[in-house]
Structure 1
Amino acid sequence: MTDAVDFLRAGAAALQRGDRAGAERRVVRALALVPGHGEGWNILGVLAVSGGDPARGEARFRRASACAPDNPNYPRSQAECLKRQGRADRAAALLAGAVRRGVLSPDLACDLGDLRLGTRDVAAAVALYRLALVLAPGHARSLNNLAEALGKADRPEEAVDAFARLAVLRGTAAAWGAAGATLLAAWRQDEARGALRRAVALEPSTAEHWANLGFAGLGRHAVALAEAAFDRALRLSPGMDAARAGRGTLRMLTGRLREGATDYEARLSLPAFMPSRTYSRPMWDGRVQPGKTLLIHADRGYGDAIQFIRYAPLLRARGMRVVFHGPEGLLALFRASDVVDDLSGLDGPPPAHDVQIPIMSLIHRMGSDLDSLPAAVPYLRAPDAAARRWADRLAGVPGLKAGLVWHGSVAFPYHRQRSPGFEAVRPLTGVPGVTAVLLQVAHGRSELERFPPLGPVLDLGMELRDFADTAAAIQALDIVISPCTAVAHLAGALGKPVAVLLDQGAEWRWMHGRTDSPWYPTARLYRQSVFGDWAEPVDRLRRDLAAMSAT
């Protein structure tokens, strides 16, 4: 036995020196003496694989496993050889068998998790990565792959926590940057800011970390931090459109509309902002050409379309023909408001046109700044028949009639931050002399089952078919209460008093620190003082509603 061990040691040393032939010769002599020595077969397997022969390597690792069935490294190596031969399913079966026999290590569990993830069995992959982390809580590869698997399983909060743990474990700029990016995507800006500060401290030359730090600051209206971070990102990478669009957003937030809107055009190269369809005609350059037809298209939020369609009548008054291509739910409202010459829904072709523009680019092409915003309201109105129908429907409602919305569309991740939910606004349903008229549709309505209103309400949420209906109902109300949703924009566009409940990091269109809106003269803004705390702005609004009711 001593001679066999000596031969194995000599073979391993030769392998370390790169003497492949010498290594194989010595290991073969050792196995001639002790055929059941697993490590000898393992070394021969390594030699075969490094020589480009995974099939021969797989056979040798199989012999190693037979000699030492409790060693998890041998089935791992055998599985790797099978993968190299395109037999991933056989590799997965081999490792799964080892797990069932109790031949376990964090690396083996992680390898099997990777194979399951490769076949899109995300649930099995997650379970295996978690098993690896039970065996070794600091197993970085399992933690990293777990985070990616959780992201694919649409479990963002768990994925974020895994990336944050990985950043603490590794401590590198890349790890802190990845954690910051995922925290940012989950709208956990405060934690993201901490992670990204570490990333830029460790590696100040990476533009992406600075850009993400800018977005983390933007999400809490930390204006100085965000602007410095975006500027630094753009100095490091002048062509970085994400950072330029972020800086544009920040500048518009702080009232620098003209320069901000210029930067904000960079968003059009980002996947999240690319139109869902292409338009063959040239992009409008902002020059008014009487007699030419401009197509305004909108395929993102309803609120964007409602806010910026105000530019269409101005262009028509200057001689251009203006047509609209956008969501079906807005067509009846825009038709009744006579804001465009023609319109069509996104399911069909656009009206004929000479030039085209995304609706949110109008603020840039029109050269708007705070002193020249087209803020005259109303610029929208409900169809006459719908207005009469809803006026009759609401005529007998007693007291101050206050429309109430508490949840925005879930199509945008921002809904987690902007939507207070019914429990938070519930005190507004118990104000003496006020009848809450519920305008909430779709998401958020289920909350009514858990939190009954405190006073008289009229629930219209199941009756409103489109924005023409909603506009008609709003015209018959005294005030509308809403977070940052399309309904808030609609009430403002109709010239109706509107109280807007805003989170601490509200969108740029509501500006920074203002209680009024330059876009909507009838709006009053109720902002959070502390992030996530809706109680204080709701209480202020409740007191104002009580005063309105009393007068």
Structure 2
Amino acid sequence: MTDAMELLRAGAAALQRGDRAGAERRVVRALALVPGHGEGWNILGVLAVSAGDPAGGEARFRRASACAPENPAYARSQAECLKRQGRAERAASLLDGAARRGVLSPDLACDLGDLRLGMRDVASAIALYRLALALAPGHARSQNNMAEALGKAERLDAGADAFARLAVLRGTAAAWGAAGAALLAAWRQDEARAALRRAVALDPSTAEHWANLGFAGLGRHAVVPAEAAFDRALRLAPEMETARAGRGTLRMLAGRLRDGAADYEARLSLPAFAPPRSYGRPLWDGRVRPGRTLLIHADRGHGDAIQFIRYAPLLRAQGMRVVFHGPEGLLDLFRASELLDDLSGLDGPPPAHDVHIPIMSLIHRMGTDLDSVPAAVPYLRAPEAAARRWADRLAGLRGVRAGMVWHGSVAFPYHRQRSPGFEAVRPLTDVPGVTAVLLQVGHGRSDLERVRPLGPVLDIGRELRDFADTAAAIQALDIVISPCTAVAHLAGALGKPVAVLLDQGAEWRWMCGRTDSPWYPTARLYRQSVFGDWTEPVERLRRDLAALNGPLQDEP
């Protein structure tokens, strides 16, 4: 036995020196003397794997586990060999069995979590990472991988918390940068700014950290420091289009539309802004060519299309044909408004055209600045039949008829920040002399199952089939109340008074600190004073509604 142990120690030393042949020779001699020594088979397994033979390594690690079934390292090595052979299911089954036998360690639980994550069993992976962290609270690999798994499960807050714990544990610029990015994805901008400031203090040379710091500042309308962060990112990485698009958004937020819109064109190279289909004709360069046909296509949400379709009649007045390719829900409204020469839905082919442009690029190609925003309203109108139907339907309502929306589309990650929910706007449902007409469709309707209005309301949300219907209903109202949603844009485009409830980090189109909108003359903006708290803007709006003695006039 003493000779065998000496041979094993000599084999391990040879392996450490890189003498693979010497290591194998000594270990084989040791195993001839003591065939049941697990560490000897483990060394042979390591030698096989280093020689590019995972199948041979797996067989030797299996022997090691049989010799010392209580050692989790051998099971982990065997599972790794199976994984390298593309046998992830078998590897997971092996580690499951080891865990059930009590052969458990934080590393084994984490390995099993990684396998489950690779097999897209995210819930099991998260549970295994939690087990690893219960065994070893400071297990950094489990912290990191669990954070990534939570992100894949769209549990953004939990993922951000996990990355933040990992940053405290590691204390590196990379860890703080990852925490900042995760907090930013969870729309926790204040915490993101704190984490990212630590990241850039530790390593000021990483452009991504500076860009994310810019986005975190953008989300709080901290214009000066955010622009400085974007500038720094672009000095370090001039081709970083995310930073350029972010700086463009920031400049438009600050009212510098021309410069901002030019930077914002960088978004077109980013996957999140890729159009749902490709267009074979050239991109429009902004030069007006009478007789040529320009295709405008929707590239983001319905609200963007409603806001920027205002450019179509301006281009037609200069002699261009203008056609549109966009969501079906907008077509009847745009057709009734006679803005376009032709239009079609995204499910079908686009109208024939010579050049094309994403609709949000019109602000740049048209050279718009703050003093040249085309703000004439209304530029949309509902189909006549729908307008008559809804006018008749709502004619009997008493007092000021106020349409209400409280939730935007969940397709965009900031919906939690911008949407107050029905409970927050509930005080607006019992204002004396005001009848609330509920226009909410989609996800926000579930709020009504939990929270009842304070007074009598008319709920027509389930009856609204598309934006033409919604426009017809709005035309029969006196005012519309909405957060930053397509309905707010629609009311403004129809020239109806609209009270827009805005979160503290509202989108660039509403700009900084303004109570009016250069895009919609009939809009009045009610902004949060405290992030996340809708109480004060809702109370201000309630007082303004109560002061109305009759239908609101179409003026800001």
Question: What's the TM-score, normalizing by structure 1?
Answer: 0.97
Q: Paired residue for 1:79?
A: 79
Letter in 2 for 1:507: E
- In structure 2, stretches of 5+ residues that fail to align are 552-556
CA contact (8 A) 1:502 1:528 kept: yes
C-alpha deviation, 1:50, in angstroms: 2.4
CA contact (8 A) 2:399 2:550 kept: no
Q: Paired residue for 2:504?
A: 504
CA contact (8 A) 2:274 2:299 kept: no
- CA gap of 1:40–1:525, structure 2 versus 1, over 3 A, is same
Q: Paired residue for 1:304?
A: 304
Deviations 1:169-225 (A, max 9, x none): 222211211221122122111111111111111111111111111111101101111
C-alpha deviation, 1:550, in angstroms: 7.4
| Greater alpha carbon shift after TM alignment, 58-67 vs 134-143 | 58-67
C-alpha deviation, 1:456, in angstroms: 2.1
- CA gap of 1:440–1:70, structure 2 versus 1, over 3 A, is same
Rounded to whole Å, the distance in 1 between the matches of 2:335 and 2:124 is 53
Matches within 5 A, 1:101-500: 101-500=101-500
Rounded to whole Å, the distance in 2 between the matches of 1:379 and 1:199 is 48
Letter in 1 for 2:293: T
Q: Paired residue for 2:554?
A: none
Rounded to whole Å, the distance in 2 between the matches of 1:402 and 1:149 is 44
| Greater alpha carbon shift after TM alignment, 15-24 vs 529-538 | 15-24
Rounded to whole Å, the distance in 2 between the matches of 1:88 and 1:325 is 45
C-alpha deviation, 1:93, in angstroms: 2.0
- CA gap of 1:302–1:82, structure 2 versus 1, over 3 A, is closer
Question: What's the TM-score, normalizing by structure 2?
Answer: 0.96
Rounded to whole Å, the distance in 1 between the matches of 2:293 and 2:78 is 68
| Greater alpha carbon shift after TM alignment, 155-164 vs 440-449 | 155-164
CA contact (8 A) 2:425 2:538 kept: yes
- CA gap of 1:59–1:315, structure 2 versus 1, over 3 A, is closer
CA contact (8 A) 1:299 1:327 kept: no
CA RMSD between the two structures: 1.6
Letter in 2 for 1:312: A
DSSP 3-state at the match of 1:411: coil
- In structure 1, stretches of 5+ residues that fail to align are none
Letter in 1 for 2:406: W
DSSP 3-state at the match of 2:168: helix
Rounded to whole Å, the distance in 1 between the matches of 2:389 and 2:84 is 71
- CA gap of 1:85–1:285, structure 2 versus 1, over 3 A, is closer
CA contact (8 A) 1:80 1:91 kept: yes
Rounded to whole Å, the distance in 2 between the matches of 1:97 and 1:11 is 31
* % identical equivalent positions: 87
DSSP 3-state at the match of 1:445: helix
CA contact (8 A) 1:434 1:549 kept: no
Number of residue pairs the alignment of both structures matches: 551
DSSP 3-state at the match of 1:526: strand
Rounded to whole Å, the distance in 2 between the matches of 1:235 and 1:55 is 50
| Greater alpha carbon shift after TM alignment, 42-51 vs 497-506 | 42-51
CA contact (8 A) 1:61 1:77 kept: yes
CA contact (8 A) 1:4 1:34 kept: yes
Rounded to whole Å, the distance in 2 between the matches of 1:74 and 1:190 is 45
| Greater alpha carbon shift after TM alignment, 85-94 vs 534-543 | 85-94
- CA gap of 1:462–1:83, structure 2 versus 1, over 3 A, is closer
C-alpha deviation, 1:22, in angstroms: 3.1
Rounded to whole Å, the distance in 2 between the matches of 1:20 and 1:280 is 60
C-alpha deviation, 1:408, in angstroms: 0.4
Letter in 2 for 1:385: A
- CA gap of 1:103–1:463, structure 2 versus 1, over 3 A, is same
Deviations 1:253-309 (A, max 9, x none): 011001111111111111111111111111111111111111111142111111111
Letter in 1 for 2:230: F
C-alpha deviation, 1:112, in angstroms: 1.7
Letter in 1 for 2:367: G
CA contact (8 A) 2:326 2:346 kept: yes
Letter in 2 for 1:131: L
DSSP 3-state at the match of 1:291: coil
CA contact (8 A) 1:440 1:461 kept: yes
Matched, 1:514 2:514: yes
- CA gap of 1:22–1:445, structure 2 versus 1, over 3 A, is same
Letter in 1 for 2:481: I
CA contact (8 A) 2:400 2:550 kept: no
- CA gap of 1:54–1:353, structure 2 versus 1, over 3 A, is closer
Q: Paired residue for 1:548?
A: 548
Q: Paired residue for 2:20?
A: 20
| Greater alpha carbon shift after TM alignment, 198-207 vs 160-169 | 160-169
DSSP 3-state at the match of 1:69: coil
DSSP 3-state at the match of 1:477: coil
- CA gap of 1:47–1:429, structure 2 versus 1, over 3 A, is same
Q: Paired residue for 1:537?
A: 537
- CA gap of 1:378–1:87, structure 2 versus 1, over 3 A, is closer
Rounded to whole Å, the distance in 2 between the matches of 1:461 and 1:351 is 32
DSSP 3-state at the match of 1:446: helix
Deviations 1:527-548 (A, max 9, x none): 0011000000000000111111
CA contact (8 A) 1:38 1:67 kept: yes
Letter in 1 for 2:233: A
CA contact (8 A) 1:218 1:226 kept: yes
Rounded to whole Å, the distance in 1 between the matches of 2:7 and 2:332 is 88
C-alpha deviation, 1:520, in angstroms: 0.7
Rounded to whole Å, the distance in 2 between the matches of 1:463 and 1:14 is 79
